[in-house]
Structure 1
Amino acid sequence: MDQFTLNLIVVGASFALYVGIAIWARAGTTADFYAASRGVNPIVNGAATAADWMSAASFISMAGLIAFVGYGNSTFLMGWTGGYVLLALLLAPYLRKFGRFTVPDFIGDRFYSQTARLVAVVSLLVMSITYVIGQMTGAGVAFSRFLEVDASTGLFIASTVVFIYAVLGGMKGITYTQLAQYCVLIVAYTIPAVFISLQLTGQFLPQIGLFSTHTESGLPLLTKLDQVLVELGFRDYTGHHGSTLNMVLFTMSLMIGTAGLPHVIIRFFTVPKVSDARKSAGWALVFIALLYTVAPAVGAMARLNIITTIYPNTLATGELDLENPISYADKPQWMVNWEQTGLLAFEDKAGDGVIRYYNEANPPAIATEQGWQGNEMVTFNQDILVLANPEIAQLPGWVIALIAAGGLAAALSTAAGLLLAISSAVSHDLIKSMINPGISEKGELLAARISMGFAIALATYLGLNPPGFAAQVVALAFGLAASSLFPAIMMGIFSKKMNSAGAVTGMLVGLGTTVLYIFTYLGWFFIPGTNMLANTADNWLFGISPLSFGAVGAILNFAAAYIVLAMTRPAPPEIQELVESIRVPRGAGTAQAH
């Protein structure tokens, strides 16, 4: 059976499973659509949360970013994982006890203000729409290679599948679909990593293989990778070469942005009791760790494999043989396959029929001596690395098909969660709570489904012109969540006196300054005609990257809120009593949704 047919069967079977689950778990009420009637088992919810959490950025893009930067991009791992711990310990149980359907619902009621609700809705929409672009980008990348269609067609197919199971099933259908998607994505991610770890180090577990001996050279794997990168003129893999300030701020931005993600928070509204929210968080962290501890090994091993593919004599000698690169005629099939997508490209600058890969900004001595013309791998989209990994390592066809299904599962699971958060904010927080409080349950359910349809259409349109790599776009979304929603939620739970004026001002200041900074220093968010983020590092304020500014926005949010609080009356006594009640164990799990 040829590879395309195998890919089609595996991916088609996974799509059929998702649609079948949606039909089986069709939402019949608003409680089903928004919170799966609060009847989800904690273990099931943990797996669904992990799938919701591990998006295209985690599955497709993160290992690629680590592979081409090294230690500096470990911030993605530290920030996202640390942020989930923050969410699980500080926010999720209390938000579940408050007993609402959405994040704006909590903010609107806690701060006794429709204005606060509206600002929260706007913040949620800006963040979620930015985030969902990364998922659609990831889906397009996966489709363009494995189903041999262009990225635009792939986006339309992905949108159709999400439309069917998200609109039909709501949170109830999405929950069980995400359970299936987690199983698909974790198996798809782990199996290739195990094979590659065995090939390079003889170790079954990639987590151990990363710190083991490279079989061919006899050196520790990371030492060998450092060695070949330095010989090619690149920075060593394990060193820290960037700004420490940006590293700290970026990690903080990802952490508190994670804790403010509405599509993850609403997952904790689906369990029966507050104690179940805590159990869900624990299980989700276990399920997430299964992938996140493998990602650094995938990145390092894939980078080494790419280099030894271009310089094949390295495998035989254990040393980097710069004089004998691979010829264009002899390049492996994985390169041919990905060249057809436009995401990988070579240029024979020297006109000698071979591929040379090195850092032309800091070329090795032999390049200068022999007058080489520069790096001939002119395009390598980092989002392809995980998807191409099985082909690079020459793994069996069924593994390649599995990675295709896993990449699509990761993108679609998070996209569905985000789209549900968007549609719930529109139908429940705007229409039901503000525009038409008398709307019937049937009418609200219809509004939720129509909102979902419009959100999918918008996400598809924006996905056709993505502003960067999937993980970078997601990082921007985390910055927006960090600067707007997280401080309001934290103050809503832990500051009894915080009033509506302070919360609204804080959200506006945090979101406004972050959006302004991003648009100012990223050149209107993307460079027209490309999918690359603008590089204006020389002009950054105090050297702070736009990807790191979410932490600064959060600080400004807190500061503005407390300044306004000092100038106005604190929250009314009944609100202070309400805040106190959600922090007291007595009565846990008894709060009912309105």
Structure 2
Amino acid sequence: MFFGFLLLVFNGVQEGIEADQTDGKPAVEAGSSSALNAMLAKVYVAYTGGFIFFVLFLGFLEAVGVPDQAIGILFVIFTLGMYAAIGIASRTSKSDDFYVAGRNVPPIFNGMATAADWMSGASFVGMAGTLYALGYDGLAYIIGWTGGYVLVSTVIAPYLRRFGSFTLPEFIASRYQGTMQLPRGKVVELSGVSRFLATIVLLSCSFTYLTAQVYSTGVIVSRFIGIQFEVAVFSGLIGVLFCSLLGGMRAVTYTQVAQYVILIIAYTVPAICMSTTQDDGFNKNNPVQFLAYGGTLQQITLREKELVLLGLASEVTPYLEPKWRRVDFFALSFCLMVGTASLPHVLMRYFTTPSVRSARRSVTWSLGFILVLYMTAPAYAAFAKLEVYTNVIGTPLSVLPQWIFTYGKIGLTTVCGKAVTSVNEAVEACAQATGDDYLLKLKDLKISKDAMVIATPEIAGLPYTIAGLVSAGGLAASLSTADGLLLAISNALSHDIYFRLIDNKASIQKRLMISRVLLVVIALISAGTAASRPADILSMVAWAFSLAASGNFPALCLGIWWRRANAQGAIAGQICGWGLTLAYLLGTRYGG
């Protein structure tokens, strides 16, 4: 909330300065109109009403006995079908529409699209799980990700929009001009080198991020349709390709607005439902308790002490952490802030607004829409932890809840170190088990961070329709980000590599065809990578942020704010920053 207030103040001051420079005349909003705003508002209000009616209808089907799996399938099919329909309706053959949505997206809708683009599987699926596992330390992710939008608004987005480029590498190449003399008299254009390096950085961070989104899509689809994870990964790409293949940025923008509507409903409704069932001694049956859950945290602390006394948990780690933990906290926050201000698929969203002022306002709208989810994520973690500590830990293996076995089938929960699918398997997994007398200990149950949000409605005993709603929201979050990432990658390859460096005489039709072919190829490669389960979602996303921050931010920020920044320095910075970060990540992950 503080960051949002900061941006409102900054925007007011900045617009006052602009008004003084133009003798009080408002900036011209080319291509934007109140008629477009009104039309989009009517369309999305009707869409929201239709989705709410659909959810209520599925609730009725559940009440009359329709199987749970059928409800899950209906959720997935309906949402994927809607996204595909919007993608088909927004198809285009114009380069401006395909690359930058015609530069006429109103700020509020661009803010919703950016929020959906931003709130990926890491935010929707992984954030609450990270807070569940890490507690206070997990807040570094929220602070870093939201604080990054202050950097985007103040030092990056408006100036990129003023430049008017199609892609991030195009800005880098145009900013850093010059030549370098090589041995034997050969001259190298440094703008081409900086463009190529910027594209490499874009590919590395965007592909890593894309793999995380496809992975989360596979988790959700495999859970709620009941198909194998590897098959679910590839099937989830159908909706992505329909959205981005035909209409490019234009289709992706309006699909992402629709996806934001679904994901924010899906995230807040279960939290409100759980709030009405909580009794922490202060806020009994309070539907807005998800914004004030201090009593729940107190209950968790008391329950932890009980588990220790009963011998079901070890001593709780004291809250006073060493100083180096604080350094880690602030270092992670800073890294994520800089990474946020460097991600190509986020920054390219501000190329679509009518003006610089609209770009600045879009950032504020984006942060406002994002805050709704981030203020709810800690409540998810708190409610889920209290339910697990109270109703699962300390129970006999014979009465373990069904959700443990359901998520064990897809490897997201383990009992005594094994993914179990039945009581017999749980008894067998616990070497100390003596039939029904063995009580589950805290160390025996492991829940994947990637399962926490989609499992929480079942953990809390809510109707299956609510669980299906969460799956639809998680799918929307993953697909919206995957759309933007795919487009960022294919546009960079087709526009910055093929058109600018290989064939600068290629027609628009040929460039769009190449971009669409690349979309399919990259989607298939990312699905194959995700199917191998390379890491958990949040780890892959952290990699993407690190690579983007080290490779893009210095060249971007100094290119805007320092006149003496030159091509040689930018190229050296790109190579050293990105190269060292990649070596560090590979070394710590795979090199011991």
TM-score (norm. length: structure 2): 0.80
Matched, 1:341 2:341: no
Which residue number in structure 2 is paired with residue 376 of structure 1? 444
Distance 1:357 1:29 in 2: 61
SS where residue 277 of structure 2 aligns? helix
Which residue number in structure 2 is paired with residue 291 of structure 1? 373
Which residue number in structure 2 is paired with residue 95 of structure 1? 160
Measured after TM superposition, the shift of residue 225 of structure 1 is: 5.8
One-letter amino acid of the counterpart of residue 341, structure 2:
A
Matches within 5 A, 1:329-408: 329-346=398-415, 347-354=429-436, 356-358=439-441, 375-377=443-445, 379-408=446-475
Matched, 1:512 2:579: yes
Which residue number in structure 2 is paired with residue 581 of structure 1? none
Distance 2:431 2:405 in 1: 18
Q: Write the deviation string for residues 399-448 of structure 1: whole angstroms up to 9, x where unpaired.
A: 11101101111111111111110001100100111111000011111111
Matched, 1:158 2:236: yes
Which residue number in structure 1 is paired with residue 19 of structure 2? none
Distance 2:308 2:127 in 1: 23
Matched, 1:305 2:387: yes
Measured after TM superposition, the shift of residue 6 of structure 1 is: 0.9
Distance 1:424 1:256 in 2: 23
Matched, 1:32 2:110: no
Identity of aligned residues (%): 37
Distance 2:487 2:496 in 1: 13
Q: Write the deviation string for residues 147-204 of structure 1: whole angstroms up to 9, x where unpaired.
A: 1112111101111221122111211111111111111111111111111122224332
Contact persistence 2:198–2:552 (CA under 8 A):
yes
Find the partner of 1:127 among 191, 201, 205: 205
Matched, 1:429 2:496: yes
Number of equivalences: 491
Matched, 1:176 2:254: yes
Distance 2:439 2:270 in 1: 27
Find the partner of 1:43 among 85, 99, 108: 108
Find the partner of 1:249 among 331, 342, 348: 331
Find the partner of 1:278 among 338, 357, 360: 360
Distance 2:129 2:501 in 1: 44
Query: Runs of 4 or more off by more than 6 Å in structure 1?
Result: none
Contact persistence 2:300–2:386 (CA under 8 A):
no
Contact persistence 2:193–2:571 (CA under 8 A):
yes
Which residue number in structure 2 is paired with residue 233 of structure 1? 314
RMSD: 1.8
Matches within 5 A, 1:48-59: 48-59=113-124
Shifted more, 199-208 versus 86-95: the winner is: 199-208
Q: Write the deviation string for residues 226-259 of structure 1: whole angstroms up to 9, x where unpaired.
A: 5457662253596546722222211111110010
Which residue number in structure 1 is paired with residue 527 of structure 2? 460
Distance 1:192 1:224 in 2: 25
Contact persistence 1:302–1:389 (CA under 8 A):
yes
Which residue number in structure 1 is paired with residue 269 of structure 2? 191
Q: Write the deviation string for residues 78-112 of structure 1: whole angstroms up to 9, x where unpaired.
A: 11111122112211111100100111010010112
Runs of at least 5 residues in structure 2 that lack an aligned partner in the other structure:
1-65, 178-190, 416-428
Distance 2:440 2:335 in 1: 34
Q: 1:509 to 1:456 in 2, by over 3 A?
A: same
One-letter amino acid of the counterpart of residue 192, structure 1:
P
One-letter amino acid of the counterpart of residue 395, structure 2:
I
One-letter amino acid of the counterpart of residue 293, structure 2:
L
Contact persistence 1:419–1:456 (CA under 8 A):
yes
Distance 2:267 2:303 in 1: 22
One-letter amino acid of the counterpart of residue 376, structure 1:
D
Measured after TM superposition, the shift of residue 222 of structure 1 is: 5.5
Which residue number in structure 2 is paired with residue 210 of structure 1? 293
Distance 2:119 2:320 in 1: 27
Matched, 1:110 2:190: no
Contact persistence 1:72–1:240 (CA under 8 A):
no
One-letter amino acid of the counterpart of residue 379, structure 2:
A
Distance 1:477 1:175 in 2: 22
Contact persistence 1:69–1:237 (CA under 8 A):
no
Distance 2:172 2:306 in 1: 53
SS where residue 345 of structure 1 aligns? strand
Q: Write the deviation string for residues 381-408 of structure 1: whole angstroms up to 9, x where unpaired.
A: 2210100000000111211110110111
Contact persistence 1:36–1:270 (CA under 8 A):
yes
One-letter amino acid of the counterpart of residue 332, structure 1:
P
Distance 1:133 1:479 in 2: 15
Report which of the two has the higher share of helix. 2
Measured after TM superposition, the shift of residue 466 of structure 1 is: 2.8
Contact persistence 1:428–1:444 (CA under 8 A):
yes
Contact persistence 2:129–2:453 (CA under 8 A):
yes
Distance 2:273 2:73 in 1: 23
SS where residue 199 of structure 1 aligns? coil
Q: Write the deviation string for residues 212-232 of structure 1: whole angstroms up to 9, x where unpaired.
A: x34xxxx83454465457662
Distance 1:126 1:516 in 2: 13
Matches within 5 A, 1:432-443: 432-443=499-510
Contact persistence 1:56–1:138 (CA under 8 A):
yes
Matched, 1:68 2:133: yes
Matched, 1:142 2:220: yes
Contact persistence 1:132–1:459 (CA under 8 A):
yes
Matches within 5 A, 1:502-541: 502-523=569-590
Which residue number in structure 2 is paired with residue 16 of structure 1? 81
Q: Write the deviation string for residues 57-95 of structure 1: whole angstroms up to 9, x where unpaired.
A: 000011101101101111111111111221122111111
SS where residue 220 of structure 1 aligns? helix
Which residue number in structure 2 is paired with residue 591 of structure 1? none
Runs of at least 5 residues in structure 1 that lack an aligned partner in the other structure:
312-324, 360-374, 525-535, 537-594
Distance 2:396 2:207 in 1: 44
TM-score (norm. length: structure 1): 0.80
